[in-house]
Amino acid sequence: MNSPLSKAPWLLARCTQAVIPVAAVADVFRSVAVRAHRLHPTDASLNRSGFASMVFVYLTTAAIALFLVWFSRCRRNAQVLSPGAVTGSGAWAVLAWLIPVVNLWVPRGLVLEVRRASSVGTTETGRDEVLVNVWWAAWAGHTVLTAASQFGGGTSLPLLVVAEVLELAAAVLVVFVIQRITALQSRVLAAGAPVEPLTPAA
| Cα 115 to Cα 134: distance, rounded to the nearest angstrom | 15
pTM of the model: 0.86
Q: Tell me, what's the pLDDT at 122?
A: 61
Q: Pick the closest to residue 68 from 100, 35, 102, 107 (CA basis).
A: 107
**CA angle (25 as vertex; 21, 28 as ends), nearest 5:** 145
Q: What is the pLDDT along the chain (202 residues), one digit of tens a residue?
A: 444 446 889 999 999 999 999 999 999 999 999 989 888 899 998 999 999 999 999 999 999 999 999 999 999 998 888 877 788 788 888 999 999 889 999 999 999 999 988 887 665 567 889 999 999 999 999 999 888 877 766 667 888 899 999 999 999 999 999 999 999 999 888 766 444 444 444 4
